[in-house]
């Protein structure tokens, strides 16, 4: 299974939207409140904002996929904190007007994405968490075959419920519940 490049890239970029806001805030001129490097700040804001919007729209638009029955689940939403290492950069003297710093940041983030992409280890990001998505480590039945993977879902994943999953990488899926009526009637 080949990981999907564009969705993976968008998930990765959107996960650093809060970091982009930190960089823009650090670039604000204290007397005018406008970024000192307006074009760079605008490009960063547009790219990261668009990636967030596209990821959230894509996640909400998933309607088809593979139906599976959940047999075991554990909540991994707290794993989003693995994204905090690059946020440490924001505490150092960072200048959006210094092209060398921007190239270094780009190289660093490209390496982080390459590692995530090559290891097929794209985790949930803070933006999806703020949009109400959780990350769940699940075992599920695909027909008679037992599989394991990480599911990103707006609903809390429950054992013995059926979900439709759409693959993002080898072990990462977006999921939505298909047995909503049965679940509501059981409560």
| pLDDT tens per residue, range 55-110 | 888 877 777 788 999 999 988 766 655 656 666 666 677 778 888 888 988 898 88
Note the helical H segments in 16-171: 17-26, 38-61, 99-118, 126-130
Residue-range domain boundaries for the chain:
5-186
What is the phi/psi pair of residue 134, to 5°? -120, 165
Beta strand pairing status for 172-177 and 134-142?
Answer: unpaired
Tell me the CB-side half-sphere exposure of residue 132, using CA atoms within 13 A: 8
- The per-residue pLDDT for 170 is 74
pTM over 0.85: no
Which of 182, 150, 179, 163 lies closest to 66 in space, CA to CA? Answer: 163
Report the C-alpha gap between 81 and 51 in whole angstroms.
20
Report the C-alpha gap between 104 and 122 in whole angstroms.
22
């Amino acid at each position: 299974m080949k990981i999907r490049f564009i969705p993976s890239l968008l998930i990765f970029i959107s996960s650093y939207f809060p970091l982009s806001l930190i960089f823009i805030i650090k670039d604000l001129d204290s007397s005018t409140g406008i970024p000192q490097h307006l074009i760079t700040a605008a490009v960063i804001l547009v790219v990261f904002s668009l990636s967030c919007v596209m990821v959230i729209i894509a996640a909400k638009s998933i309607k088809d996929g593979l139906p599976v029955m959940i047999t075991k689940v554990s909540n991994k939403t707290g794993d989003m904190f693995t994204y905090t290492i690059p946020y440490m950069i924001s505490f150092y003297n960072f200048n959006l007007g210094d092209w060398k710093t921007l190239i270094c940041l780009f190289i660093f983030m490209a390496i982080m994405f390459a590692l995530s992409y090559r290891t097929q280890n794209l985790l949930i990001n803070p933006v999806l968490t703020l949009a109400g998505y959780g990350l769940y480590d699940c075992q599920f039945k695909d027909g008679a075959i037992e599989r394991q993977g990480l599911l990103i879902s707006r609903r809390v994943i429950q054992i013995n419920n059926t979900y439709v999953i759409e693959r993002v990488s080898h072990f990462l899926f977006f999921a939505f519940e298909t047995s909503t009526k049965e679940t509501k009637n059981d409560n």
